[in-house]
Structure 1
Amino acid sequence: MTHPFPLPAEDRATSPYTGWTRAHWEAAADGLLAAVTPYATPGRALYQLPGHRPSWSGTRSDGLEGFARTFLLAAFRVAGARGADPHGLLERYADGFATGTRRPGGDGPEDWPRIADRSQPLVESASIALGLRITRPWLWDRLDDGVRQRVGAWLTDALTATPVPTNWELFPVAVGGFLAEADVETEAARAAVDRGLARIEPWYTGDGWYSDGANRAFDYYNGWALHLYPALDAWLSGDTERLARYGQRLAAHLADYAHLFGGDGAPLHQGRSLIYRFAAAAPLWLGALTGHTPLAPGTTRRLASGALRYFLDRGAASGDGLLSLGWHGRYEGLVQPYSGPASPYWAAKGFLGLLLPEDHEVWTAREEPGPATAGADVTRAVHGPNWLLQSTTADGLVRLHNHGSEHLPPPGDPDQDDPYYARLAYSTATGPAPYGAAPDNHFGLLSGDRVSLRTRLEPLGAGDGWAASRHHARVVGEERPDEVRITGLVLAHGAAEIRVHLVAGAAPGHPVRQTGWAAPDEDLRSELLPLHGLLTADPLPAATAFSGRAVTPALTGETTGGAAGDLFVCLARLTAEPDPAPLETLARVDVAPADGGYEVRVAWWDGAAYRAHLSERAVRVAPAIPAPVSRS
């Protein structure tokens, strides 16, 4: 693969999995920063990157975003080199600080917009404050007094600005931590830190996971915001009591988080703001930096370097070295209303590892395999979000079965589920079909060309090889839209999944549809086999972040309106194995009415067996007496 900027030769002795070392991270940072240099305004206060319409915040706000996020990358690069700055990065950004704060809120072409309630400049203030904090001896302390006063005054507005009640609550924490250290509005700065930390506390669900606000949105904001800012502020402050608290949570999170990376380095494709790409490496480095991680040093570097290389090898930085709005290359399905041309540069957070000295064991240890390639297939219950993770070593794929995460519909469009939160499953090699397309990995009611929404999700637990939930199925435009309840269960083993859905409250004769993985028509195999209540239907085309030609298998059925509800069961598989065993040989499933619901008995090909009871009230799953399935 030819990259848009030069990289050192691979080192397969130290890094047998990725070939990449600290030198590759430094070269990547240098290349990304060199690529944005031509797009700085004359006074270097804004970076107006090409290639996209302005975000809903406006052109100058987008330019500030370009300054802030690339400055954070420059700060990691220089602070990691202990102040060495051969490319003059800090001089460049010092000029920008002087220019942008001359008339904050003015109408000049380089005047920074003021930080206001729920404004994009509030987001960017966190990157600016963190960058100033970690480069303080080489930048802040050397700025002219007048510039320091103006920058401090601009940042001070973040201490009292009202955030969106999500991870935004932590942006004043980042600003307050720096200002308190710099003796600027110290009392207000410390109050902002305490207030922000208190506001995220109710969102901690335990086991290392936060919801992103008072909802059930679980995603990468756990790693690149909700863990990052509290733990990093405590570490930078030397507050051992707070670091112990947030570090313990971080370590618990990383025990699950390490399982979200595929054998090819890809992070799991789920949640919003995926254009930040290798920012997914930030919590891995944070664990090593703070000393709160369950991962071996070689595993940390393998996962982080694998993520960086995954994207750079696949065109995330275009021919001119600029990060595009997308996943591999540009992809409109990931562009959100707040996405500006410089939004992808929050990927800078992934370079947090440069703060670790070059002789730290995370850089010197030999790479070790990540969980997806560690020698055994894994199914892992993640209890905070109520997920089931499933990985297979034969192809390095990771799959997430989602029975606990949801998200509000997109702004102005209450008639669609959010494809990045509401689907039944996600993976490291497939992307959800975007808004407006027939949803992949979905089970619901059909009404003409509409499908029901997965609303009011209620987790019902996750355990050894299974996860379950209940939700209301709302078909847009129908009367009494919340009357139908769907209880869902997945049982996973190897690369195979059994998907079970119990529909209650539906009128007789209502069509239902089950869809599988939206997989590219090359390299991957996506299959659905009907087992109970379903028949094979025509596959559904879609374009995803991975392929302009993905195909989603589909099954259809029909409700009877029975007193115990209607049960629908299928066998599914997503695999990249070149010659997998026939899907029908992987499991035997028996279904029978039982105790006001249904009993489902599953016997896997290798002798593992389960017995599940589903009713509208509950789901119970337990191991059963092994009964090997014949593959003859």
Structure 2
Amino acid sequence: MNRPHPNSPLELPADDRSTSPVTGYTRAHWEAAADGLLKAAWQWATPGSALLDLPGRPSASGVRSDGLEGYARTFLAAAFRVAGADGKDPHGWLDRYADGLAAGTRTPGRDDTESWPLIRDHSVFGQPMVESASVAIGLRLTRPWLWDRLDPAVQDRAEEWLRGSLRHTPAPNNWYLFPYSVAGFLESVGRGDAETARARERALDLLESWYRGQGWYADGDSRAFDHYNGWALHLYPVLDAHLSGDTELSAHYGARLREHLESLSLLFGGDGAPIHFGRSLTYRFAAGSAVGLGAVTGHTPLAPGTSRRLISGALRYFLDRGATGSDGLLSLGWHGPHDATLQPYSGPASPYWASKAFVSLLAPADHPLWTATEEPAPSEGPDRVLALPAPGLLVQSTRADGIVRLHNHGSDHVRPHEGESAVHD
């Protein structure tokens, strides 16, 4: 039986210290966390389910865009949850997202209760382009249970809305992976063409130019390195290759993910926290998404028990420290609300990019990620000093206190959150 978490209203199972001696969390805890976060967010849905208008200060993109963000980012959590359960959907999440897709795409751009905003250039209230990727991935993951059951007219409307991502200009950074993901979905359902091929080729060409070695990408042409490496620059191409079964792309990008995890895995402290570094930190346990994806795809240097210790440690770190308020919603902040953590593009639903961590649920219940006994995190092992010349970082961990220290040599002089290229993520 699930019971309320002591520091949030989420109802989680009792700790299991037999297979998870460090965190107490199992796959059942991850499913319960996803369900709890979704239940709280859906209390704020519009009548037609197209927008989730979560309470709080609006972002610079406006409340309609924020409502789409609520729909799209929670859809990721629901999609990973249901796809990981092979279509079992005891709470009926997918019916809600199907209804919302139909309502939101009926008259996009109209100023009414349900209509989604149009996708435009990044410089013109461009946030919907970001959210189009989450919608596309959610549809791709749940295709047999959602997309394939839609009325053809709704499918056509959804395609037309998504193609706005292919026809407008992304910000010159990880944004190019949003139309890439949209194109991947459209091709997966037999709706590919020259436009989708162009979007994919363009993104992969740019990704090659941003690769700096040691598993690290710059987020664009400048020296910008942070958690976007894991939850965007690795996640989108590796997940796409995994879902499409493209062994060539999987091997290419998977090898980079494997190398990235050699250093990323050291950036989680003994308390489970990812290192407080870079922008968009309100995405919290999304920092573990690359670890989970590595375990799901096999592109990881980590033992399964180590991977689970890292992802569950991060999830528990935030839940134990009040990341959700009494209403069950993820707040804008780090532990709880914290304005200094935010950027102008941060809106009430922004924290739900944390949903990317639920990629771990694509590993079925009998996967070693969930069955192996937890092992210590790298920061809990021998003291280490790791030099990363590619991003200009020096990582130091000490077992006695479980603290990871990051010495930043260069990218601290780049402030992407102040530039136009990173206004909306």
Which category describes the TM-score, using the shorter chain as reference length? over 0.9
Runs in 1 of length 4+ with deviation above 3 angstroms?
A: 408-413
Give the superposition deviation at 1:190: 2.2
Give the superposition deviation at 1:201: 1.4
| Structure 1 residues without counterparts, runs of 5 or longer | 414-632
Q: Which residue of 1 aligns with 2:423?
A: none
1:82 equivalent to 2:89? Answer: no
The 2-side partners of 1:412 and 1:307 are apart by 29
For 1:240, which of 218, 240, 247 is the aligned residue?
247
Q: Which residue of 2 aligns with 1:35?
A: 40
- TM-superposition CA deviations, 1:322-359 (whole Å, max 9, x none): 00000000000012111111000000001100011110
Give the superposition deviation at 1:286: 1.0
For 1:395, which of 372, 391, 401 is the aligned residue?
401
For 2:63, which of 59, 62, 79 is the aligned residue?
59
Contact 1:156 1:185 in 2 (8 A): no
Letter in 2 for 1:99: A
Q: Which residue of 1 aligns with 2:303?
A: 296
| Structure 2 residues without counterparts, runs of 5 or longer | 1-5, 421-425
Give the superposition deviation at 1:405: 1.3
The 1-side partners of 2:140 and 2:329 are apart by 26
- TM-superposition CA deviations, 1:134-193 (whole Å, max 9, x none): 100000000111111100110011112110001101001110000011122433212211
Q: Which residue of 2 aligns with 1:440?
A: none
Give the superposition deviation at 1:199: 1.3
Contact 1:180 1:187 in 2 (8 A): no
For 2:263, which of 241, 249, 256 is the aligned residue?
256
The 2-side partners of 1:243 and 1:84 are apart by 27
Q: Which residue of 2 aligns with 1:405?
A: 411
The 2-side partners of 1:64 and 1:230 are apart by 24
- TM-superposition CA deviations, 1:293-337 (whole Å, max 9, x none): 000000000000000000000000111100000000000001211
1:213 and 1:87, CA in 2 relative to 1: closer, same or farther beyond 3 A?
A: same
Contact 1:167 1:212 in 2 (8 A): yes
The 2-side partners of 1:258 and 1:2 are apart by 26
- TM-superposition CA deviations, 1:388-411 (whole Å, max 9, x none): 111111110000001131323754
The 2-side partners of 1:227 and 1:277 are apart by 17
1:322 equivalent to 2:326? Answer: no
Q: Secondary structure at the match of 1:56?
A: coil
- TM-superposition CA deviations, 1:93-132 (whole Å, max 9, x none): 1110010001011122211011111110000000000000
Q: Secondary structure at the match of 2:386?
A: strand
For 1:203, which of 210, 216, 219 is the aligned residue?
210
The 1-side partners of 2:67 and 2:77 are apart by 16
Higher strand share: 1
TM-score after normalising by structure 1: 0.64
The 2-side partners of 1:99 and 1:151 are apart by 10
- TM-superposition CA deviations, 1:562-599 (whole Å, max 9, x none): xxxxxxxxxxxxxxxxxxxxxxxxxxxxxxxxxxxxxx
The 2-side partners of 1:78 and 1:346 are apart by 17
1:229 equivalent to 2:236? Answer: yes
Contact 1:99 1:110 in 2 (8 A): yes
1:43 and 1:61, CA in 2 relative to 1: closer, same or farther beyond 3 A?
A: same
Q: Which residue of 2 aligns with 1:13?
A: 18
Q: Which residue of 1 aligns with 2:285?
A: 278
Q: Secondary structure at the match of 2:22?
A: coil
Q: Secondary structure at the match of 2:404?
A: strand
The 1-side partners of 2:370 and 2:12 are apart by 17
Q: Secondary structure at the match of 2:137?
A: helix
Q: Secondary structure at the match of 1:61?
A: helix
Q: Which residue of 1 aligns with 2:133?
A: 126
Contact 2:7 2:319 in 1 (8 A): no
Q: Which residue of 2 aligns with 1:4?
A: 9
Contact 1:41 1:110 in 2 (8 A): yes
Aligned residues, how many?
A: 411
Letter in 2 for 1:105: G
Letter in 1 for 2:56: G
RMSD: 1.2
Higher helix share: 2
Letter in 2 for 1:222: N
Q: Which is higher, the Rg of structure 1 or of structure 2? A: 1
Overall identity of the aligned pairs, in %: 64
Q: Which residue of 2 aligns with 1:377?
A: 383
